[in-house]
Chain A
Amino acid sequence: MNQTIVSYLSKYEFYKTLLGLFGGNESLLAFVIYLIVALIIIGFCATVGGLGTFAERKISADLQARIGPNRVGPYGLLQMLADGIKLITKEDIMPYAADKFLFYLAPLLALVGVFATLAVFPWSSGFAMSDLNVGVFYLVAISSLVGLAVFLGGYSSNSKWSMLGGMRGASQIISYEIPVTLSILAIVLLAGGMGFGTIVAQQKGLPFNWFIFHNPFTFIAFFVFFTGALAETNRAPFDLPEAESELVSGYNTEYTGMRFGFFALAEYIEVFVVSGVAVALFLGGSNLPVNIEVDFLPLQFVEVIIFVTKAALLYYVVIWIRWTLPRLRVDQLMSICWKYLTPIAIFNLVGCAIWMVAFNGKSLAELIFGH
């Protein structure tokens, strides 16, 4: 039985009042609840994407001893709105020899791929829109649409820079899926389930209960996952698909206006999604630091705040890495994936399996403190 936000809310009294308002039509009420929650999540994530561009510019300025955007609004906070208005009002240029159908489709596919992952995003123990039993698997599967979008965007532009960027993007995303998925598999092995609810519920309490500190193998797996996830989101030092020193701007060179905006927005939201997944799998997710068994609705909001704060901290690390490390070469990129990350990830998986058998699934902290 998959838990959803509707089945979570149906525990409370006000659900029955709402059901009465809808004349007892459960399907309609479920549809309305899903619609409202989807609108809230998409609105929130679009804001996160916009704030991501702002944070990127501010933090990069900070790291380079500059000030960054500071003219529009307080601390330049409204800069993202100005950027958005600029992108919307720009002329939408279609290259003469472009494949029009695919050219229009690619940015939409990128956004669809990212927004579809939000369906299983574990905001809190109850507010996950749908806590599928195959949650992580679904997330890994549906996010491959972004790779396809990058590839199609590069192909349909009919430009050599775009083509090279698209090819690089597709091969990079396919390659790095392997270490990322193997690292996730190690956690699935520990948690005994693929649903985010199952995984997060087992990391209750203080940080030594988090899966990253469960055993030495998961500690390594976190860094493998994080490196692979950086590459999958095309972030520096793995931003070869849009390497501006070689490929102008890579797969999105020919895109203008809001179509370019869609690609950029998809990238920034995907970074947030990846940070959130890392938090849910390794860093305790939305759990409170204390064990409270009371089911109390406002606590869910506290959990959401905890989750978003953790994800935002990882978001900062991602930006920090981008402005610290130089870009890799293509051959280095591939050798890191196939010669280092993949063998390490397989080693971790086997190590986790042996640990589960040898110590009966106890974490390192449980073995030391013995509780």
Chain B
Amino acid sequence: MRRLAALRALAGVPGLRVVNLGYPSREMYHAADAPENFYMLGSMGLASSIGIGVALGVRERVVAIDGDGSVLMNLGTFATFARYAPPNLILVVLDNGVHGSTGDQPTATSSGARLDRIAAGAGVRRVRVVRDPRALLRAATGRGPAVVVARIEPGNADVPVVPLDGPTLRDRFRARAASRRRVPRPTAPRGRSR
């Protein structure tokens, strides 16, 4: 599956989306722009963290769309994901084995690093590996919290950069999220206290 096909499938999941920087945001903007999409234009590595922060503050489903190179910069995120486990959050890692936005330099998943096992080892209970858009859509609409590793082919669609500025992207996403806020409450980590 190409990244564009994966993103088109994820655009069909009702809810809010956090989209990783570089070509994932460019392709999503091109294929299925919506105010429910928060496009990252910087801060590589933080798609999952932004997704956790949003998911803890809203009721509806949040799909955070990360990449293998990006999530390898922030592996602690799997531990945080497992610990706070927002039930409305699906973390999708589009794994093409390369840094696709900077010239296809190989990442560690191309030489054997298994993100599904890293997530499971960090304590994530629901981990799926998918290889086609239909299975991806099913996993992303299924029960959360879940980590979904989607194996995709390298390669980018020929689409321009997202033309919107930061505050514009913030405002339209926040307005969409505002109607779905939940009342703040103390959040305790799962499991035993130390």
| A, B co-complexed | no
Interface residues of B (CB under 8 A from A): none
